[in-house]
Amino acid sequence: MKGRHVTSFTLTLCILTTFLYRQVSSQGLVNTTNGTLSGIREMVGEKPVHLFLGIPYAKPPVGELRFKNPLPALNWTGVRNATEFGDTCMSASPVSPKMSEDCLTLNIYVPGDVIDSGHSNVTKAVMVWIHGGAYRSGASSEYDFRNFAVEDDVIVVTVNYRVGPFGFLSTGDVNAPGNAGLWDQIEGLKWVRDNIASFGGDPNRITIFGESAGASSVSQLAMTTATKGLFHRVISQSGAALSPWAWVHDAIDVAMTIGNLLGCNATTTDTAKLVRCLQNQDSVVLINASSQITAGRTYFGFSPVVDGDLFPRSVTELLKDTDSDVLRHFRSVDYLIGFTDSDGGVFLFKLPFNYTSGIPGDKLRDTLIPQLALQVSALHKDEIEAKMKDIYYDPSADKEATARHYCAIMVQRI
């Protein structure tokens, strides 16, 4: 009887060990320019995938580095454990309890056969995901690309970048030029370019893609010569550099308002004092103040700016200059743009009436479409309104279907 118990226990232990091995096993070691990484090997169905999580690509942007462009990550000694996501960047809408300014990390999902084959001559295409979140929230850890990487046989990289005031506060001068969040993305792409071959990736086949603010970000990265050689294809999902919400035009006013709220007592002629004051603020206090002063704005309070450096002129002006280096760079990359299904539903909450059961047809026809046509062009309002009604208004549709038509209009507006 005792022997049967031992045999049963041994069999159970073997089964558990086999199960655990299928989930997490044989940690892969990869050498990078900063040091050696140890990842996780998991299974997606019958296919292996390696995960390398929380890899620092820049120095922590704290203290005097707050609001500044990122600096390359420091090297480490020994083997760095890359088995957990790094902290989420500070955000007004936190998606993780692990949130801090020390957040500039990236994650790599590698189809397992690349590492299992000992870095053979097989190199895979690379896709770098830039998350959305209105430039004020979001994190790379929100997205799981294990299935995507394995099923499509592609290496996927996801990147954290600073958002809200930490990533996009600007005083319009050298003290806080703005666009730190975009520079974070660029620094992450530099790390990928320099290291992805060690993971079996092809640095000459890098696609950047994103949704919402991630979509406008990748579009903006395609419109600056600072990203030359860092990627070759771009996919924008529900957002672009021409989206009106993708830029802020009163950044100095936003920065001054936050400073006044926090007692900085600085003037527009002393932005160095303002920035020093804001750098010394507790991160949570700064987040709360930024949320308070941007509430009720039509567009975001923290977005990229035309800074004279990353963007010497507005994107509209750059696109008109057909002989510029910027436009030549833009034309050198493959570009795919579209939108996600029903993404316009995010605008429903702004409607001044109860829409929970749908939208009445006459409300869409007589109020919403005319308002939207006017916003597009006062000069061509009547023509636009007629076309929109022809496409999106169906007198036989019920309220739910009509609401979907409204969402479709708003997707086009994005």
Per-residue pLDDT of 210-249, as tens digits, reads 999 999 999 999 999 999 999 999 999 999 999 988 999 9
Residue 97: partners with Cβ closer than 8 Å, 6 or more residues away? none
Same domain for 175 and 147? yes
In a domain, 261, yes or no: no
Tokens for 343? Answer: 């993404």
Same domain for 171 and 227? yes
Does the pLDDT of residue 299 top 80, yes or no?
no
For 138, the domain range is 28-247+306-338
Give 365-391 pLDDT, tens digit per residue.
Answer: 999 999 999 988 889 999 999 999 999
In a domain, 4, yes or no: no
Collapsed DSSP state (helix, strand, coil) of residue 48: strand
In a domain, 285, yes or no: no
Q: Quick check: 39 and 85 in contact, CB under 8 A? A: no
Q: Quick check: 122 and 114 in contact, CB under 8 A? A: yes
* Structure-token match 């493959």, residue found: 334
Question: How far lies 360's CA from each of 275, 351, 366, 368, in Å?
Answer: 50, 13, 10, 11
Closest by Cα among 79, 244, 47, 57 to 149: 47
Which of 278-282, 286-290, 291-295 is predicted with the least confidence, judged by mean pLDDT?
A: 291-295
pTM: 0.85
Same domain for 326 and 382? no
In a domain, 369, yes or no: yes
Same domain for 380 and 330? no
Last residue of a domain, one of 322, 338, 354: 338
Does the pLDDT of residue 18 top 80, yes or no?
no
Does the pLDDT of residue 62 top 90, yes or no?
yes
The model's confidence at residue 5, banded by pLDDT at 50, 70 and 90, is very low
What is the separation of C-alpha 101 from the centre of its chain, rounded to a whole number of angstroms? 16
Question: According to the model, what pLDDT value does residue 97 have?
Answer: 80
